[in-house]
Structure 1
Amino acid sequence: MTKPESAGYDYDVVISGASLAGSAAAILLARRGVRVALLERRSDPDAYKVLCTHSLTANAYPVLDELGLIPALKKAGAVRNDARWYTRWGWIEPKAAPAGPALPHAYNIRRSTLDPLIRAHASQTPGVDLLLGHQVAGLVQEAGRTVGVRASTPQGEREIRARLVVGADGKDSAVAKFAEVPARQYENTRFGYLAHFRNLPLHGGIGQAWFLEPDMAYAFPNDDGVTVIAVLPDKKRLPAFREDLEGSFYAYVRALPEAPPIDSAERTSKITGTVNYPLLSREPTAPGVALIGDAALTGDPLWGVGCGWALQSAQWLADAVAPVATGRGDLDRSLLTYARKHRRQLRGHQFLAADFAKARPFNPMERLMFSAAARDESLARHMHLFASRLIGPLRFLSPVALAKASAVNIKHRRAAVPPEPLSHTET
């Protein structure tokens, strides 16, 4: 009798981390006939990530749709993530064109709601075995490539062999560490704190973000009537926050233009955050290994793109490797396809984010685009597409867009200059 092609492997793919990226990848791979072990170090199926923007940018909508999660998100109370952004030139308020389609969107939803939802969805997907309380303690390697993991479990250590090991285990990825995938680190000279509030009205009932050059803040409405407020100041302000966190947090929010009335709202969480959150970039593959989500690329939290990129990278990986993960094809070539896609889609975004993480004022190009977007509806929509990561830096800063922004600002300056009075001889 001929041995099946899967002989010698417990699964086709082992995924470490059953949060957004890992659960999404498990679902998408299993639907394509791949046998998946989904490992989660925490034993509680309702565990969730606390420190997060809780925002799924519009680039994630197609992935959510493919996963079949849109109805469940709506039922759970997810809020469309429409938003407006404050700049020194005024508010940028993207709106759909009068005769055009609605602006693309996704959702704001707290991770305490989202993580258990997508993890349960994964556990109910045929072909996925959710293994809670399993933490990767090492990799199994043969002939220079990874062929499985050693997992620490409540019952002791066990070995799980697979053709592909996926690290979906966050910015401090154990899989990346054991595979000796180096990380390139970019300093983030802002720190961040956030808290959850109930009964907090926002202008227009939509998200708000403040670009204060160099400080930042945002307020995003979420499910169950909860609004998340985050402040991201320059580290020069850190000593004051350390001396009086609550007082500094409230004073910072009160000073925002059109500040949300936090003093009359009910705070439903602690003020939590981090004083050191560098941006990280890793090569997304190694022999027998793929990295997705924050394990491959950790962006600046002020942009709220991490959740969207986690879901997108899961989809890119599934599309690339599912046809060969069962042993019928060249896995290394498929991993190369995934790596190229990941770099092509995200490297430019990360470059700009790393530069802005230096906590500097806007540079001349940013001043041009942000000021024009505050003055022109079409450029506000263009800004929305970029903020939603539906277009990349090259399209955002295309010659056509720059020319349009320049024309808008020239027209604005001319309109702001009063006409010279007519002389006596001209009257």
Structure 2
Amino acid sequence: MTESESAGPDYDVVIGGAGLAGCAAAILLARRGARVALLERRSDPGAYKVLCTHSLTANAYPVLDELGLVPALEKAGAVRSHARWYTRWGWIEPRPAPGGPELPYAYNVRRSTLDPLIRSRAAETPGVDLLPGHQVTGLVREAGRTLGVRASTPEGEREIRARLVVGADGKDSAVAKFAEVPTRRYENTRFGYLAHFRDLPLRDGIGHTWFLEPDMAYAFPNDDGVTVLAVLPDKKRLPAFREDLEGSFLAFVRALPEAPPVDSAERVSKIIGLVDYPLHSRRPTAPGVALIGDAALTGDPLWGVGCGWALESAQWLAESVAPAATGRGDLDRSLTAYARRHRRRLSGHQYLAADFAKARRFNPVERLVFSAAARDESVARHMHLFASRLIGPLRFLNPLVLAKATVVNLRHRKAAEPPAR
């Protein structure tokens, strides 16, 4: 045994990336006894992700609660993530059942508010060393297993050893690249542009999504009176958009059913966008490595699920590997459990998202369920659970729901028939 091996690793876990996923994982692992190095390539403690839907779906609420962030988000003015969706059959407007509980929610909150908040919580957590200005430049590997990272720092190159290396460094993950984890890519045939507006009223003060088949748009009210407004058209429209970005963006919004009054609002950001944003999936583990957030799976931005899945995957990892990461269990077995849970919870969602990213019209099953949800409150509530990622595709499209949707639509059709003479 070498001197470095006998001394043990520098940390139990080293995490590349101090965004949502990385900070959440650091906090949750440290609370379970792990010594965590949290590396962030940017030196600014207020750094944040700019290109984002700025929305947390309701599946994220339990993680936010465990992290202790809910009171701080409420204080910061985060807006509860209730929404309504436009379809050709009318608006789907989920509401609580009479006498029932409030619908599940999380928050719409700008990353300029959220990222520094969760990063400061991570830095304050005993057992977490936040290391700004540290960028992963390679992995320490022996016999096919990862034992740490190499990083560039303000003081020069550094090697940090750990039992587990976590890639929380986004869709272009350097950790995944250095670990040679293959990437599966799904084409996205929509492009997207978004901008932030102040004083842009939305009906009931909640989020709006427009399913225009195949074009899409959404508006999410955020903290400090700012609304994120995004358009996601078919790529066939991209050449015209590029000729006059601002004019095309505003014209698209003005043409929306019940369009928000964009001309009377103040635009407080540039119009930024993604011309090409494919969906990515990676195996979430390798020997000595785990991937979380966008590093493991990058969804279609039109669904606004990335932030929620970043937090959930961090929680799943901490629950699966914490004992082994601290030397009290089999790490490989724990990583297998995490990978199985990640795949079981997200692969079905990603399959449907990749199919819908082909910029197609609704298929027959979607037409059945969406039309029924626009006509029946119980189906609308069920759809809300799926849109919030609280249930998976199999439960969303189970035979009882499809039968219910069929009955709703048959009743609607019968009611719409002219009376017999």
Listed one character per residue, the Cα deviations across residues 160-213 of structure 1 (whole Å, up to 9, x for unaligned) are 000000000000000000000000000000000000000111011111000000
Q: Report 1:375-390 matches (<5 A).
A: 375-390=375-390
How far apart, CA to CA, are the structure 1 residues paired with 2:8 and 2:349? 41
What is the CA distance between 1:4 and its match in structure 2? Answer: 12
Are 2:165 and 1:165 equivalent residues in the alignment? yes
Could you tell which deviates more after superposition, 34-43 or 323-332? Answer: 323-332
Find the aligned partners of 2:7 and 2:348 in 1 and give their Cα distance: 41
**Aligned match of 2:82:** 82
* Structure 1 residue 7 displacement after superposition: 3.0
Cα distance, 1:328 vs. partner?
Answer: 1.7
Question: Is 2:231 the partner of 1:231?
Answer: yes
Tell me, what secondary structure is at the counterpart of 2:280?
strand
What does residue range 357-376 of structure 1 map to in structure 2 within 5 Å?
Answer: 357-376=357-376
Deviation at residue 214 of structure 1 after TM alignment: 0.2
Q: TM-score, normalised by structure 1?
A: 0.97
Unaligned ranges ≥5, structure 2: none
Say whether residues 1:198 and 2:198 are aligned partners. yes
AA at the equivalent of 1:204: D
How far apart, CA to CA, are the structure 2 residues paired with 1:43 and 1:315?
26
Q: 1:316 to 1:4 in 2, by over 3 A?
A: farther
Aligned to 2:355: 355
Residue aligning to 2:12: 12
CA contact (8 A) 1:5 1:327 kept: no
**Mapped contact 1:186–1:279 kept (Cα < 8 A):** yes
Cα shift at 1:8: 2.3
Partners of 1:378 and 1:24 lie apart in 2 by 34
AA partner of residue 150 (structure 2): R
Partner amino acid, structure 2, of 1:237: R
Shift of 1:417: 0.3
- Equivalent residue number for residue 416 of structure 1: 416
Rounded Cα–Cα distance in structure 1 between residues aligned with 2:321 and 2:289: 11
Q: Counterpart in 2 of 1:37?
A: 37
The 5 Å alignment of 1:242-391 reads 242-391=242-391
1:50 counterpart residue number: 50
Question: What does the per-residue CA deviation read over 1:14-71, in whole Å, with 9 as the maximum and x for residues that have no partner?
Answer: 0000000000000000001100000000010110000000000000000000000000
| SS of match in other structure, 2:323 | coil
CA deviation after TM superposition for structure 1 residue 418, in Å: 1.1
Question: CA RMSD, aligned part only?
Answer: 1.1
Q: Partners of 1:350 and 1:181 in 2: how far apart? A: 18
Q: Deviations over 1:218-237 (max 9, x none)?
A: 00000000000000000000
- Residue in structure 1 matched with residue 96 of structure 2 by the alignment: 96
2: CA distance between counterparts of 1:4 and 1:74?
Answer: 47
Does the residue aligned with 2:420 lie in a helix, a strand or coil? Answer: coil
**Over 2 Å off, 4+ runs:** 3-8
**Cα distance in 1 between the residues matched to 2:413 and 2:187:** 37
- SS at 2:7's partner residue? coil
**What count of residue pairs does the alignment treat as equivalent?**
419
- Aligned AA for 1:370? F
Q: Contact 1:373 / 1:380 at 8 angstroms: preserved in 2?
A: yes
